[in-house]
Amino acid sequence: MNILGIESSCDETAAAVYSDGEILSNVIASQTVHERFGGVVPELASRAHHKTIWSTVEQALSEAGTELRHIDYIAVTRGPGLLGSLLVGLSFAKGLSIAHNIPLIGVNHIDAHLYANFIEHEESYPFVGLIVSGGHTRLVHVKEPLKHDVLGETRDDAAGEAFDKIGKLLGLPYPAGPEMDKLAQDGNPGFHDFPRSMMGKGLDFSFSGLKTSVLYYLQEKDEAFIAENRHHICASVSAAITDVLTAKLKRAAEKTGTKQLMLAGGVSANSMLRKKTGILAERSGYKLMIPSLQYCTDNAAMIAITGSIMARKGMVGDLTMKPFARLETQSAKV
């Protein structure tokens, strides 16, 4: 089975080819136009996708040593994401589907982050997955492929959003989350005790209070203090966020009785989170799956492998598929 994956949910234009358990290519065209604005500008993102999507797909096919006539399915991101960006990818995929008579599969971007783990790990169920990204923080119990029970989610800011917004307060360049992680590695996590919101309450998350706490803390400090201690502040913020994420993941595992844990999404690249969940798994006897760094952030390999799982289950779409901006509710919170 040869699957072409196409991803365009935000500001990365990506294409990949997956064939019988192996990623043959994984090409990502990153957009730099947003850096001067300190965040993604939707209109500029969709224009950039339009300019690069064909060359990105061509490169993915070339690196995989194949052609469109050998592709069995086209898997493309339907959402969630920026509607303009999604429309570019979905419309392009529909065009290829029509021109080359290739079946089309519409993939949920958040599901794909989870199944990116199966690029390098054996596919195995059930598991508790923690999806942490710029737009989403969600705990799910996955008993079988593509069947998710939502255990908890953020009530306001996502973890990645908190990292980026706090990093911006600290004067870090966009995207600030990865830069915060680099600085935190040289800092003291106990430098300042920022709040751990909702630590003792269920499985939902809240990070807006942390953001406000950091804002007030920085307002009381002068620029010299912040510059001198930026790495310590980053470490303290990272500790606050990752303590909550790890505690909730452990609680979800205990609630479900599941011995298999999974991290997914862009924030799963965070070094402190990877270390803490590794310690959790070792101490509690859990099996832990975390994607390699190249598969944590948005990429098309995760779209392709999710498409292969959907194809196996006969979940093939058609040309009436529409993009969706917000995360679809797959099941009630349990």
Annotated binding site for substrate: 131-135, 164, 177, 181, 270
CA 321, 323, 327, 332: dihedral to nearest 10 degrees?
-20
Specify whether the CB–CB gap between 213 and 194 falls below 8 A: yes
Type of residue found at 117 = N
Backbone φ, ψ for residue 303 (5° rounding): -70, -40
Which DSSP helix (H) or strand (E) runs through 45?
helix 42-64
Tokens coding 288: 């832990």
Q: Which residues make beta-bridge pairs with 83?
A: none
User: Distance of CA 159 to CAs 153, 207, 225, 290, Å?
Assistant: 10, 7, 26, 17
User: Distance of CA 197 to CAs 130, 207, 209, Å?
Assistant: 17, 7, 7
Beta strands in 199-324 (DSSP E): 260-264, 287-289
Summarize the annotated binding site as residue ranges: 109, 113, 131-135, 164, 177, 181, 270, 298
Q: Which of 234, 243, 157 has its CA nearest to residue 195?
A: 243
Is there a cis peptide before residue 175, judged by omega within 30 degrees of 0? yes
Integer Cα distance of 273 and 134 in angstroms = 15
Type of residue found at 296 = C
Q: What is the CA radius of gyration of the chain?
A: 20
Summarize the annotated binding site for Fe cation as residue ranges: 109, 113, 298
Q: Which residues make beta-bridge pairs with 73?
A: 3
